[in-house]
Structure 1
Amino acid sequence: MRIVPAIILGVAIILAPVIWYVFPLIVPIEDDFEGPAIDSGARIEIEMLSQQVEDMRAEIERLSLEISRAQSGAAAPLQGVDGADDYGYDSSTPNEIIDAYAQVVLIADRNNVNQDLQLASSSFLKETFGLPREDLTDSCQSMTNPRLEENLVLEEVGPVRVRMLKPAIESLRTVFDNIRRTDPDLYDRINTAGSLCVRRVRGATSSASAHAYGLAVDLNVDGVLDTLGDGKTQLGLTILADFFRQEGWVWGAAWGREDSMHFEVSRNKIEEWLEQGLL
């Protein structure tokens, strides 16, 4: 009977590379589908394949342990709490990613995620609109700049409620409409951590961020906040970034201190609105 576990282990080791090679051939990605949503499927498929490989590795380790114990005359595998063995493998749960969008992943090539979009610096915003209020502090206050205040609106936009400048609201609505049509599952998971906050940039005396001008929003999946500056983010946010970039928004993942929940209108888009007389 000791030969049976050895056979199982051998088959598992042989099948691992076969599955890795054959799966892309039997589950092809459609070439005629355009738009950011194809990136969603690719990223999720990569994460699922990675998880399946990890699960297979854990199973091989478990089988190796059983073989060792069988050779030493032991009768059964060591079990931990709730069916999990000493290697952490839990045979009572399926080997699948239950929540792909909330998976935390490294941000690939994050310095280039915004491509040719320009950041609207605090000096550009101040020169263009003036400060959102003269007496900025470290706390959020009301906006008093007449030019900006008359364009400030509070609305339900897609799955979130935000207070932003009207052109930014309409642009955000376009982003969410595109997400809803192409990736409705992700759309239903979007949550916000805030939009308008009229205060100075931390550490500065007279500079205000895009949030203070009603030109930025913080988003997440399922209300789970991202860890600032760790170079990682939820998989769902990497997908959202494609849609925002397409509409001319900058993603905070590219900053020196990564802030992947942060999306703000690019300088390119603001200059476009200025030319159209929208601001």
Structure 2
Amino acid sequence: MNAIAAIVIGMSIILAAVIFAFVGNLLQDTERDPNAGKIDRLTQQLAQQDSEIRGLRSELNTLKGQMADVGGRVMELEKAPPPEPAQTAPVINPQAIQQTEPSPLFTDQFGGMAPREEEGNLTEPMQLAKKRFNENVIRPTPAVLRQILGEPRSTYSTTCAPVTNPKLLHALETRDVGGIRLTMIRPALDSLQQIMARLKKEEPDIYAAIGTAGALCARYVRGSAKSVSSHAWGAAVDLTLKKNLDNMGDNSTQFGLVVLAEFFNEAGWYWGAGYSREDSMHFEVGEALLRKWAAEGKL
């Protein structure tokens, strides 16, 4: 019994202490000022507004300084002398300008142009070895060209004339190829473009020197009054080096044309140096290539 009594007395003491502490805290809460929280919040807001006011005053002072600088610059500009009026460029009469660029040799009916010639022989001639070239490449005769492409026009002369055959007109195209503008049958231009691309890569100096003396030209062969030139079908092109024409019929050629001939022969073109009357600047589509295009429906 004594042990139980001791436990009861101990628990009573602990409970009394807890109750005393709780009642003490409760009494403190009832004694606190109910407006204390509001006062704290107002104090914080006033401090924040005061900080913002100080920041605005600082910005205002900065703006005043900038305005003073602008005012000083305006006064300097007002005191400076006025600028001199700009001089207008003189009016030039186009008719008074001398033409320094000669006109091209000719322009075909579609705008294909041939460049001007330069005076003087800018390429070294060399003797031809005809047997080295045109191997397995046959020149298409006018009869073959008529069979595949039709008659370009009804009459011819020794000067260029427009093509009138509707079928041939449909097959012709004008295009810039390797820096020269040519009118030829469409697949010939495609082939020529491939040749020029290879030439530019492998022989850039010769590529840069290439010009033309014309492509499409419905006329007789030079020196003939009955044989129609392959130029009339847009199947041939005359090429120059450094705008210098190769002399026809002298059995010699510019060495750069020999290099060109190798590229054209490999692509199926015939080189005019193989004619009985040598024409080294002349390159035309070979018969086999022409028939191949016709079979493929490209003409």
What TM-score does the superposition give when structure 2 sets the normalisation length?
Answer: 0.57
Which residue of structure 1 lines up, in the alignment, with residue 256 of structure 2? Answer: 236
Cα deviations across residues 245-274 of structure 1 (Å, max 9, x unaligned)?
Answer: 111100000111000000000001001101
**Contact 2:148/2:294, CA 8 A, preserved across alignment:** no
Does residue 171 of structure 2 align to residue 177 of structure 1?
no
Which of 206, 216, 219 is 1:186 aligned to?
A: 206
**Contact 2:150/2:167, CA 8 A, preserved across alignment:** no
Which of 136, 142, 147 is 1:127 aligned to?
A: 147
Q: Matches of 1:106 and 1:112 in 2, distance apart?
A: 12
> Counterparts of 1:56-67 in structure 2 under 5 Å?
none
Paired letter, 1:241:
A
**Contact 2:182/2:214, CA 8 A, preserved across alignment:** yes
Paired letter, 1:119:
R
Does residue 127 of structure 2 align to residue 103 of structure 1?
no
Cα distance, 1:127 vs structure 2: 2.4
Q: Matches of 1:174 and 1:259 in 2, distance apart?
A: 23
Does residue 156 of structure 2 align to residue 136 of structure 1?
yes
Find the residue that maps to 1:120 and give its secondary structure.
coil
Which residue of structure 2 lines up, in the alignment, with residue 87 of structure 1? Answer: none
Query: Percent of aligned pairs with the same residue?
Result: 40
> Counterparts of 1:118-267 in structure 2 under 5 Å?
118-201=138-221, 202-205=223-226, 207-267=227-287
The structure that has the greater radius of gyration is 2
What TM-score does the superposition give when structure 1 sets the normalisation length?
Answer: 0.61
**Contact 1:111/1:255, CA 8 A, preserved across alignment:** no
Cα distance, 1:210 vs structure 2: 1.0
Q: Matches of 1:265 and 1:159 in 2, distance apart?
A: 20
Q: Matches of 1:208 and 1:167 in 2, distance apart?
A: 21
Find the residue that maps to 2:276 and give its secondary structure.
coil
Q: Matches of 1:127 and 1:154 in 2, distance apart?
A: 23
Q: Matches of 2:276 and 2:156 in 1, distance apart?
A: 25
Find the residue that maps to 1:155 and give its secondary structure.
strand
Cα deviations across residues 11-68 of structure 1 (Å, max 9, x unaligned)?
Answer: xxxxxxxxxxxxxxxxxxxxxxxxxxxxxxxxxxxxxxxxxxxxxxxxxxxxxxxxxx
Moved over 4 A (4+): none
Cα distance, 1:121 vs structure 2: 0.4
**Contact 2:137/2:268, CA 8 A, preserved across alignment:** yes
Find the residue that maps to 1:102 and give its secondary structure.
coil
Q: Matches of 1:105 and 1:112 in 2, distance apart?
A: 14
Cα distance, 1:111 vs structure 2: 4.0
In structure 2, stretches of 5+ residues that fail to align are 1-121
Which of 110, 116, 140 is 2:136 aligned to?
A: 116
Find the residue that maps to 2:211 and give its secondary structure.
strand
Find the residue that maps to 1:156 and give its secondary structure.
strand
Paired letter, 1:227:
N
Cα deviations across residues 147-181 of structure 1 (Å, max 9, x unaligned)?
Answer: 11011111110131111111111111011001001
**Contact 1:112/1:254, CA 8 A, preserved across alignment:** no
Cα distance, 1:113 vs structure 2: 1.1
Cα deviations across residues 213-252 of structure 1 (Å, max 9, x unaligned)?
Answer: 0000001210111111111111100000010011110000
Aligned-residue RMSD, C-alpha? 1.4
Cα distance, 1:112 vs structure 2: 4.7
**Contact 1:196/1:214, CA 8 A, preserved across alignment:** yes
How many residues matched? 177
